[in-house]
Every structure is written in C-alpha cells, then in structure tokens.
Amino acid sequence: MTATNGERLYDVIVVGAGFGGLYAIHRLRGDGLSVLCLEASDDIGGVWHHNRYPGARCDVESLDYSYSFSPELQQEWSWTERYAAQPEILAYLHHVADRFDLRRDIRLDTRVIATTRDDEAGEWSVVTAAGESFRARFLILATGALSSPKSPDLAGLENFTGAVYRTSSWPAEPVDFAGKTVGVLGTGSTGVQCIPEIAAEAERLFVFQRTPSYTLPSGNRPLDGATVAAVKSRYEDYRAELRQSRAGIPAPTSGEPGTDYSREEKRARWDACWQAGRGMPSHFVDSMKPGPTNDELCDYLRDKIRAVVIDPATAEALCPKTYPFGARRICLETGYLEAYNRANVTLVDLSANAFEHFTSSGMRAGGRDYPLDAVVLAIGFDAFTGPVVRIDIRNGRGERLAECWAEGPRTYMGFMTAGFPNLFILTGPGSPSVLTNVVMMLEHDVDWVADCIAWLDQHGISSIEADESAQTEWMEHVAELAAGTLYAKHNSWYMGSNIPGKRRMFLAYTGGYAGFAAAAAEVAADRYRGFMVR
C-alpha cells in the first residue's frame, strides 16, 4: 500500500522490540498485515537488553515468565533456573526472534522521536532521530512500563571523575570492580539484586540507602528435569489456570485470614514460606491489606532482618518502618541481607545522613566524604508514562499527548487514550500491567489489539478511538479500586511519586488479570463498547 505522500504505507508500526513488540510482529504478520517494528537500541530485547547489570534476574518464575502463544516453543525451550537470569532471558528472546523470523520486520538503531496523525488520510506519520519517516494505519506503542530511566537528580554528579554506571543501561562489555571502592545508590529491586554481586567483587562497597525495602528470599535454584517435565506435560492447562488468577503467577494460599491464627501460628506458617521461598504475600488472604495481619507480617520481616544482619545499627537501618509490606514492590533477594555482614560493605543511611553532593573524587553525605572509584545508579524509572510522553505524539488537531496527560495519564482500559485514534498502548497506564506476569499481560494486550484491528478491517472501519466518557468512567474505577489498597497510601514509583513534579496517582489497575481480561473480552464482544469508530 502507498501512503498519501507516496511513501510505503504499513498496516501497523510497532514501537519497541521487547517481549510485547516481538509477539506483536508475529501475531499481526500471521493476520496478513504488513508490520514494521522500530527499535531505538542496537539489538532486540527491550529492558532485558539494557538491564544487564550484575545479578539482573526476573522475579517471576521462568516457566511462567515466557510466551504461551506457541505450544512448540513452549516445549522446545528449557529454562535452567527457577528465576532466569538476564542473559538467559535475552537468549530466549533472540531464539524467539530467529525461530519466528521476526528480524526482517525490525529496524534497529531507529529511535522514534515524534509521530503525528493525519486524520484526513487516516495515517500516523512516524519520525525517527535520524530524520527518516514512516507511515502506518495503526500505531502500537510496545515501549514498556519500566523502560524510561529516571534522570539522575544528583547535585555535582557532573564533577565526579570516577566511573558512573546506570543499571538501566549497563555496558555490554564486562565491568571489573576488583580493587575498586564502589558506591551504589538505590535499594529497590535493582539495587537489591546487584549489591550482593558487587559486594563480592569490589574491594569496598558503600550502599547509599534512602528508603529500605522489604525483601524475601527468592529461593532460586536450578530447575530439575522432573519439575520442568511436570509443567510441560500440561502446559496448556497450566497457562489456562494462570489466566484465571489475579496476577498470572501461582499464589499458594491457605484461603484463610491471619486473624484466625495466633501470632506464633502465623509466624510458623511464615517461616515455612521463608524456607520455601514461596507464598509469603498470599498465604493469608489479609496479608496485603491494611490491618493486624499485615502489621504482624511487617514485624516478622523486620525480625528476620535483625536475625540475619549481625551489626545491630545496620540491621535497624535496613528495617522498613515508614511504610507497610505490600505498599511498594516486594523485592526478591539472593544473599542481599548477608552482604551487609561482609567486612567490605558499609550501609550509609541517607535518611539520617542526607546526601549533599558529589565531589570530583566521591560523594558527600551527612557531613562526611566517601571517596569512590565508581558509582552505580540503581535509582529507578519514570514508570508508565515516561516511555510514552518522551515521544512527541500529536493528534490530527495538533494536540500533544504529553499535554493531555499533564494532570496524569488517562486511558480507556490502558489500550487507548481519547483524542488519539488508531494509537494503541500495550500494558498502558490504567491496565493491570506491572501488577501481573507482564509476559502474559503483553500477550493478552497484543491479542486484544490484533483482534480489534481484524474486526475493524472486516467491517470496513478505518478509525477507532476511546470515548471520553468511557475513559473517565474507567479511570474513576481504577482510582476507586486502588484507594482500598496499601499502594495508594504510600510513596512509590507505582504512584509516580519518585519523579519530581509528576502527578501523584496510582497508575495501574488493581482488579487483577482475570477480571481485566474478562472485561476487555466483554467490551470487544459488545462491538468495542466505549470506543468510537468511523
């Protein structure tokens, strides 16, 4: 097809070649559509390409955190560990790209910087950093929720003459910390993973902690043949069961509230979860809700820190006290707490010794200088909205999406935002997204979008967009559900509160995968109720 300006007109342009983008190419191509995937990086893999820091690993089990769209792929690929490390996940994505011949529709080193909708032609015009332009009837942002790194708001960093590494764009070549004094900033999921690895290599490690995390032992281990065979023998059924769950991951539960049990009985159950590396948040049905069981679980986890970390002052500083378990992302760890028992590791509590600035040779905090050879920034992401608004997206009336979202993102079910026809977002704000097994969620969203495009084409409809009132209703529903959770009462990247100036609101749908998927299917079956078509 030819666009109105004489360029080639694609049916669909997909932005991003991570888990979502790769499956989108496969599915849409299978539907007979022409697809072009534009990827900013020099290779495929999305966050798994960039976040190659030491210790990077998924915290969803590998048998779950993998594609289900191809039974053959499911059978032929064998994960080696319960929680796959970054190199293995990246190798998997490369295997998928090769196996399904996806690379021929991907342009690497092609950063999309702007896109404008031509309403009359019914085309999106996409402009890249190199000044190229491409046109398509539909645009799909497969740009991820946690792919736009938070900018380092650290005074004096530009004066620091040592090496600066960001976990979110770790160098491809090995980094050698042997003999070096290293400082790590950030103790979220990323910091918790890289700190034990760097501690084992560096001569000296200072961990600069602003807010401690609740951590649980991952219980990672090599996957034995029997476990893999048991899942593979019924993979379709197993996936179907996960699709009926809240988060798309197994969540073993007693089905009972903790309030039915004494403190000692609860602790005995939690000890079993701790040993197994499984089930702590889900064992009691009220563990993740405000109330006595959650309070007791917080006490239990703080006692675990005190039991593992030998130095009492360090242990106390590592104990989260300003927010409850479940209000922020729970971090799975391997050797994290034990790392603080090493003689070469020092925890610097920035909440008591405030960060002042970087100097040419290190960092100053709490009136003290910390000489450093290298600093590792594990300071997080501008979640959900960052990857979308960093592209200059304009609709046919010249309105900028970033401005439409200035008071917070607005979508109908995460898929589309009103006023921007034929622009789809995968795992967008207002969808369950990061609260689920994201690979399962991405497959769902790709299938929903592909089914929608097929339906439009079958009915000779050229344009679809979210209806403003359906969108308002949806966002109110998202906010209402979130208001009853622990998340809404505390600061975290889920709330946008890690980014200065960002509107504070809960950015995901907390109603769970199964309920969301059922609602999305119902909307589609009802001729895309809540969307306007032309």
Footprint on this chain of ligand NAP (rule: CB under 6 A): 57-59, 146, 153-154, 185-191, 193, 210-211, 329, 350, 355, 378-381, 434, 493, 498
The CA-atom distances, in angstroms, between 177 and each of 38, 286, 314, 374, 376 are: 35, 44, 24, 8, 11
Looking at residue 199, the DSSP 8-state letter turns out to be H
Q: How far is the CB of 190 from ligand NAP (least distance, A)?
A: 3
Q: What whole-number distance in Å separates Cα of residue 304 and Cα of residue 297? A: 10
Q: What whole-number distance in Å separates Cα of residue 229 and Cα of residue 225? A: 6
Q: How far is the CB of 90 from ligand NAP (least distance, A)?
A: 14
Sole residue written with tokens 């059922």? 518
Q: How far is the CB of 421 from ligand NAP (least distance, A)?
A: 31
Q: How far is the CB of 313 from ligand NAP (least distance, A)?
A: 19
Q: Which is nearer to ligand NAP, 134 or 509 (CB)?
A: 509
Q: Which is nearer to ligand NAP, 167 or 417 (CB)?
A: 167
DSSP, collapsed to helix, strand or coil, labels residue 113 as strand
Q: Which is nearer to ligand NAP, 10 or 323 (CB)?
A: 323
Q: Which is nearer to ligand NAP, 422 or 433 (CB)?
A: 433
Nearest Cα residue to 373 out of 196, 522, 67, 160: 160
Q: Are 105 and 92 in contact (CB under 8 A)?
A: no
* 375 bridge partner residues: 164, 183
Q: Which is nearer to ligand NAP, 122 or 186 (CB)?
A: 186
Q: How far is the CB of 350 from ligand NAP (least distance, A)?
A: 6
Q: Which is nearer to ligand NAP, 378 or 393 (CB)?
A: 378
Q: What whole-number distance in Å separates Cα of residue 157 and Cα of residue 127? A: 33
Phi/psi at 113 (5° precision) = -110, -25
> 524, exposed or middle or buried, with CB in 10 Å at 0-12, 13-18, 19+?
middle
Q: How far is the CB of 188 from ligand NAP (least distance, A)?
A: 2
Q: How far is the CB of 194 from ligand NAP (least distance, A)?
A: 9
Q: Which is nearer to ligand NAP, 423 or 499 (CB)?
A: 499
Q: How far is the CB of 226 from ligand NAP (least distance, A)?
A: 26
- DSSP secondary structure of 426-478: TT-TTSSGGGS-HHHHHHHHHHHHHHHHHHHHHTT---EEE-HHHHHHHHHHH
Q: Which is nearer to ligand NAP, 309 or 456 (CB)?
A: 309
Q: Which is nearer to ligand NAP, 122 or 149 (CB)?
A: 149
Q: How far is the CB of 117 from ligand NAP (least distance, A)?
A: 31
Q: Give the residue at shortest CB distance from ligand NAP.
A: 188
Helix, strand, coil % over all residues of the chain, rounded to 5: 35, 20, 45
DSSP, collapsed to helix, strand or coil, labels residue 58 as coil
